[in-house]
Chains A and B, each alone.
Chain A
Amino acid sequence: MNESDQLDPSTHHEATLLPWYLTDTLDRQEKQDVETHLPNCERCQIELDEMKRTRAAVKASINEQTGPSSVVFEQVMARIREEQSSAETTIQRKSHTGPNLLKQIQAWIQSLFTVPWVPVLATIVIVGQSALLMTNLGNNQTLPDWEPVVPRGIPQAPSPSESHHIHIIFTETATQSEIQGLLQLIHAQIIRGPSLDGAYVLKISTNDLTPIEASLETLLAQPTIVRSATPANE
């Protein structure tokens, strides 16, 4: 096959345009060139005549081909559905790996709730926790037993000028229950602390007529609980 762009020098350029002159797909200038050339060139007239007949023969030959069998259509649609199915499987597979671990965990948790007793147990736990919380809120003037550290922050009651106040530092080994028992004994509550040196301010109830010295004495009598206790000027 001659793949070159070069024609035999004896071939007129217009001859190469004849197939498209026949199908009327040349632009105006090219069509005009052919029409100007043809009346003066016998070779190209013969070529045009041959081209017409060859074109008719080729068209007749191709028209003999009726088209594909219906099997082709079925195969195409089967392939398309196969590809779609494969694509969906890939998406599903991807969704079960890597970044979607959370979704897997969520699905696992949700599956737990399909077991009948799990929601009942969860409800009991929630109710129990709520009751415990309410109890502690009701006793907010006392320290919870299970807390190993004294609650931080400033207690609610403002200190009236006639009340007694004590600076106190607890020992590091003092437990919450020991501190709570001692404060109940002297009718005191923590109103401030801890400071940077770990000191708290206690307020002795104003209804209590016990002198501050007695309270200090009681506190200092518990060296395993109280490291130091001194009157505070509030």
Chain B
Amino acid sequence: MTTTDVHDRSDQDLTSEAGQGDEEAFQALYHRYEKRIFQYLISMLGDPTLTEETMVEVMVAVWKNAGKFRGDSKVSTWIFGIAHHKGIDAIRRVSSHRQSSVSLDDAEETVDVGDSPEDHVQQKGLAKLTTQAMKDLSPDHREVLHLAFFEELPYQEISSLLNIPMNTVKTRVFYAKQQLKGHMHALGFSETML
């Protein structure tokens, strides 16, 4: 198989070939999803180190289970499903160590409490402020916002991926957005910034 062939192949083909032990196909699948899965996990977990550790677990699980993938869902949904479960495992593991939910204090970008909200906004920009506000959300809220706003998945697919009712998906996104807005205001966000 040539490199060009690998890049031309569908997710389904790559998964099937990876399931038969084809490392090259797996590597192509890995590179196709690495950024999206990393972004999804960091949305869930906040901490980059924990995210990278979890990502190793996710991708090893993708390799080990590729042979069992029957194509009942999209490959992306299947991989995000694995990432979701590994992310939940990581949150539980960290919570049990720290006796609290995932600490976001370890994140690379932290708010300098010495700055006024206005200074902070000017320095970091809207994206940074949103990132910080996202970190103040619960992992569940971060996760659904990521899947709905960034991955742009239909609510039916999010429901299937997270194994929760469709109405719960709708209300969770609705409340997550409200919470995010509240955190952004607390960090100095004003409507004129957008």
Q: Which residues on A are within 8 Å of B, measured CB to CB? A: 1-7, 11, 15-17, 19-20, 23, 25-26, 50-51, 53-69, 71-73, 75-77, 79-80, 83
Contact = CB atoms under 8 A, between A and B. Distances in A.
Given A54-B181, A58-B145, A61-B134, A83 B64 contact: yes
A19 B173 contact: yes
Nearest to B31: A73
A68 B34 contact: yes
B148 A5 contact: no
A63 B130 CA distance: 12
Nearest to A84: B21
B23 interface: yes
Nearest 7 A/B pairs, CB to CB: A67-B35, A16-B170, A61-B130, A25-B154, A5-B167, A23-B152, A57-B130
A62 B130 CA distance: 9
Nearest to A58: B149
B175 A2 contact: yes
Contacts of B59: 72, 76
A7 B177 contact: no
Contact of B171 (A2, A62, A69): A2
Interface of B: 23, 26-27, 30-31, 34-35, 38-39, 42-43, 51-52, 55-56, 59-60, 63-64, 126-128, 130-131, 134, 138, 140-141, 145-146, 148-150, 152-155, 165, 167-168, 170-175, 177, 179-181, 184, 194
A55 B60 CA distance: 32
A106 to B, nearest CB: 29
Contacts of B148: 19-20, 23
Given A11-B174, A68-B55, 6 more contacts: A2-B171, A16-B171, A62-B43, A67-B38, A73-B34, A77-B27
Contact of A59 (B64, B150, B153, B167): B150
Given A19-B173, A53-B194, A67-B39, A79 B60 contact: yes
Q: Which of A7, A25, A58, A59 has the most CB of B within 10 A?
A: A58
B194 A56 contact: yes
Given A4-B171, A25-B154, A59 B56 contact: no
Contact of B149 (A5, A16, A54, A65): A54
Contacts of B52: 68-69, 71-72
A79 B55 CA distance: 12
B130 A60 contact: yes
B152 to A, nearest CB: 4
A54 B177 contact: yes
Contacts of A15: 174
Nearest to A54: B177
19 contacts: A1-B140, A1-B172, A1-B179, A5-B167, A5-B168, A7-B171, A11-B174, A50-B177, A58-B134, A58-B146, A61-B131, A61-B134, A64-B127, A68-B52, A72-B38, A73-B34, A76-B59, A76-B63, A83-B60
A11 B150 CA distance: 24
A53 B184 CA distance: 12
Q: Which of B131, B165, B174, B175 has the most CB of A within 10 A?
A: B174
A158 to B, nearest CB: 72
B63 A80 contact: yes
A65 B51 CA distance: 12
A11 B167 CA distance: 14
A105 B184 CA distance: 75
Contacts of B134: 58, 61
Nearest to B165: A5
